[in-house]
Amino acid sequence: MTAALDAAEEGLEVTLLEARRQLGGATRSFSRDGCWYDNGHHVVLGCCTSYLQLLSRLGVRDQIRLRPLDLTVATPDGRMARIAASRMPRPVHLLPSLLRYSHLPFRQRLRSLRVLAALARVDPSGSPSEDLALGAWLSERGVGERAVEDFWNVFVVGMLNAKPDDVSLQLAAMAIRTALGGARSGSDFGWSDVPLVALHGDPGAAALHSAGVDVQLGVDARGISQEGSTRIAVATGAGTLFAKTVVVAVPHHRVARLLPMPRASALLSSPIVNVAIRFDRRVMGETYLAAVRSPVQWVFDRTESSGATRGQVLVVSNSAATDDLRRPRDELVRRTVEGLRCLLPRARFATISDVVVTREPHATFLGAPGSRSSRAATPTTTPGVFIAGAWTDTGWPATMEGAVRSGSRAALQARSYLEGCPILLGAPR
């Protein structure tokens, strides 16, 4: 959507192909029994400036609830700790709450603060940081397994969709530096007050229509080939389209079906599993919380956005959820409900009226050590064909921010190549 809008605003003729019946890429919504559910709970940080600018272009920036970080971290035995931004200047605005973080012994809190500071100083562009796992780097600095579980996983797994042992130091350093080392609002934490279809899909369709983009839903690209020196053919289930240039915005595990990109096939995927539970009463007072030592990672109150008029809708979002991906649905639901009832005493007495499970096996690429060489550059070996997507070499983890930045970059390079020729954007599954 970003690439199409950028190109159209330059006066180019744009066609956008989307294999699904709904715009929004990896962010989707569906209705069930009068409630709206998303395929995953997506959050945004204040440092995601390009994504927030896209929302402003779509006229929905006010639908994001972005507030200074104030996170409750719970354990199954009822203990609570809090990580919240203070009025102190960046990057020490989290210092007071981290010093009081009771899930770690005091010495481990001091060690974690020193390690956080060291992580923020790691050069995210250096090759040593790309080839080393964050987990090994933490271990070298005396961070034990309990500290990883009770503190580091809260942020690393949620931000990077990977466990410390599975993610490169480079990506972790980039995320920490960007969220903690820039503007004070960079660590602000937010999410949508409406279903994702009302944040991305419908407003995106309206903005694209206003910009003159020909949006074709339910049309998947099946092949891309060069026709002569100035024309590219895109084969679809509905026929063949021709253009002077093409931007391909597909997941990493599907791009090889369209283009010869052997390196992309080396990228692994990391899953996200969400369980939405509809209770007959309010069981959680917080709008969101994280958990440690629990089968539950993050819990969000999605009652308002779901449209539920009674009770409370909570969404449990588990990242890097390879084990949950393989569990039978009944076992997954049982574990999740038991986990919630340990964390939230009021849930023990509530009746559950509905449970919705969504599993995204390829939610993001896995930013493993050494994976950067497999992330595609924007130009391809086919003249006039460019790549966009959060998995491309944006320097960012797999985020909506990275997706938007890649789209802008692809449109810029396509415009430079075109010099005024029509443009076709393919966005199949």
Query: pLDDT (tens digit, 0 to 9) for every residue of the chain, 429 residues total?
Result: 999 999 999 888 999 999 999 999 889 999 999 999 999 888 999 999 999 999 999 999 999 989 988 999 999 999 999 998 887 776 677 889 899 999 999 999 999 889 988 888 887 776 677 899 999 999 999 999 999 999 999 989 999 999 999 999 999 999 888 877 666 677 899 999 999 999 999 999 999 999 999 999 999 999 999 887 779 999 998 899 999 999 999 999 999 999 988 889 899 999 999 999 999 999 999 999 999 999 999 999 999 999 999 999 999 999 999 999 999 999 999 999 999 999 999 999 999 999 999 999 999 999 999 999 999 999 999 999 999 999 999 999 999 999 999 999 999 999 999 875 555 655 433
Give the per-residue pLDDT at 181: 63
Length of the chain: 429
Domain boundaries, position 92: 86-187
Instruction: Please report whether residue 136 resides in a domain.
Output: yes
Q: How far apart are CA 16 and CA 424, in angstroms?
A: 6
Instruction: Please report whether residue 163 resides in a domain.
Output: yes
Q: Output the DSSP codes for 114-160.
A: HHHHHHHHS-TT-HHHHHSBHHHHHHHTT--HHHIIIIIHHHHHHHH
Looking at this protein, which amino acid is placed at residue 377?
A: A
Instruction: Please report whether residue 317 resides in a domain.
Output: no
Instruction: Please report whether residue 143 resides in a domain.
Output: yes
Instruction: Please report whether residue 131 resides in a domain.
Output: yes
Query: Is-contact 225 404, C-beta < 8 A?
Result: no
List helix spans (H) across 233-328. Answer: 303-306, 322-326
Whether residue 422 is preceded by a cis peptide bond, meaning omega within 30 degrees of 0, is no
CATH number of domain containing 97? 1.10.405
Helix or strand holding residue 319 (H, E): strand 312-319
Looking at this protein, which amino acid is placed at residue 405?
A: R
Instruction: Please report whether residue 381 resides in a domain.
Output: no
Instruction: Please report whether residue 142 resides in a domain.
Output: yes
Strand order in the sheet with 288-291: 80-84, 70-74, 288-291, 298-301, 312-319, 269-279, 352-365
Domains: count for the chain: 1
